Each structure stands twice: as C-alpha cells, then as structure tokens.
Amino acid sequence: MADEPVFVITGASTGIGAATARQAVEAGYRVVLAARSEDKLRGLAQELGGEQRAIAQRCDVGDWDDQQALVATALERFGRLDVYFANAGFGAARGFLKEDPAQWRSMIDTNVLGVALSIRAALPHLVEAGRGHFLLTSSVAGRRALPGSLYAATKWAVTAMGEALRLEIRNDHPDALVKVTLIEPGQTDTPFFDNRPQGMLEADDIARAVMYAVSQPAHVDVNEILIRPTRQPT
C-alpha cells in the first residue's frame, strides 16, 4: 500500500475532479480529494474505498493555510505526493457590465491565485522527491479571447502559469523529473453550465486525458492537452 502513488485533486467533489478521482483509483492511485463541499467529498471518498484509498479534506484553494494543510494531509496520511491536479475553478457571466465585482474577485482568487498557491504548496515536495506531476485545468478559453469574458482572462493566466512552472523546474531543478500538463477542455457537461448545450464532452472524457498524461514514461512530458467536442467550431 505504501508504494502506491498519491494523487491530490482540487475541485474534486463534482465534474472533472470527481471523474478523475474515480479513474485514478481504478488505475492504482490513492487519492486526496479537496473542495469546499465537504458532504459530497465524504460521499465520494467512501465510494472510492474509504480511508485506505481516499481522503476527503475541505480546502478553499484561495487560502494559503488550507493549501498547506492539504499537502500536509497527503504526506502524513499516505506518506508521499506524486500528482497534484489543480482543477478547482468556476466562471462568471460574460460582459464587463453584467457580473457582480465580488463574483469577479472570488473567481480570480479561485482560478488564478488558487492555482499559484497549489504550485507553491506542492512544488517543494515534488522537487525533493525528484519526480512528480502537476496538472492545471485551463480551458479552450485560455487560448482565445471571448467577448466580455473575465473568466477567459483567468484561464489565460493558468495557461501562462503552466509554461512558467515548466520553465522554472527545468531551469532551477534540472535533475527533478517533475512534469507539467495543461488540461484545456472545450465545452464539457459539468455543473459549470446552467443551460447545457447538446453534444458536449463528458467529465470522463477529460479524466481519460488526465490519466493519459500521468501514465507516460518518465522521459515523456505531455505539456498541453486541448480537447474539444467534435462539433465545437472554435
């Protein structure tokens, strides 16, 4: 059991995070599940095998103390940290005159600061171990501007962070086999959407891409995976 790798997932209570947790456990990982929704987390942890396989921990990714506690829990309970999937995020209505500025602040704290704090909390342990994998959930919206979309701007920031992190690791820790992958979904059928378009990707589709990235041999670093529904034009 102690030799089984450990996969930390933020935004794990629903959608892509929960789907990835299920596939990770099936692939032999132990998982540490983080989100602000404790009830859903505990239910998922029980589904995945309880404390021997899955730990649920409340975490606001925009809170530095919560992030440190999340990494500490993985190390204390499972003895190692192999993969950190910074997946937590949410959106806002398009239009710079439409959304509440308080919503903007919360979104930026989660989508941008939350990813940076995830990196800050986990990077020292992965570098010390000499191996590991960061995955960051960006978006198709992190590659192109959308009218009135501050959400897209947050995902551009995540895309930039992914490459900035990869370069930092390669320049400052050249002997550490720590990989960085940006996951960039198109329209995906998750709780993100109130009115869900037809023909979207499923959360399991994105989870399979995540597991593809982490299953590669040590010398292969998959830096970006852009996934669109077949019928999504842009």
What CA–CA distances, in Å, run from 50 to 1, 40, 46? 14, 13, 4
CA distance 202 to 71: 29
Please indicate whether residue 212 is annotated as part of the active site.
no
Query: Which residue in 29, 84, 151, 212 is the catalytic one?
Result: 151
Nearest to residue 122, comparing CAs of 83, 154, 179? 83
Which DSSP symbol is given to 50?
Answer: G
192: its two tokens: 């993100």
Nearest to residue 181, comparing CAs of 231, 225, 130? 225
Neighbour count for residue 161 (Cβ, 10 Å): 22
Q: How many residues does the chain have?
A: 234
Active site residues: 151
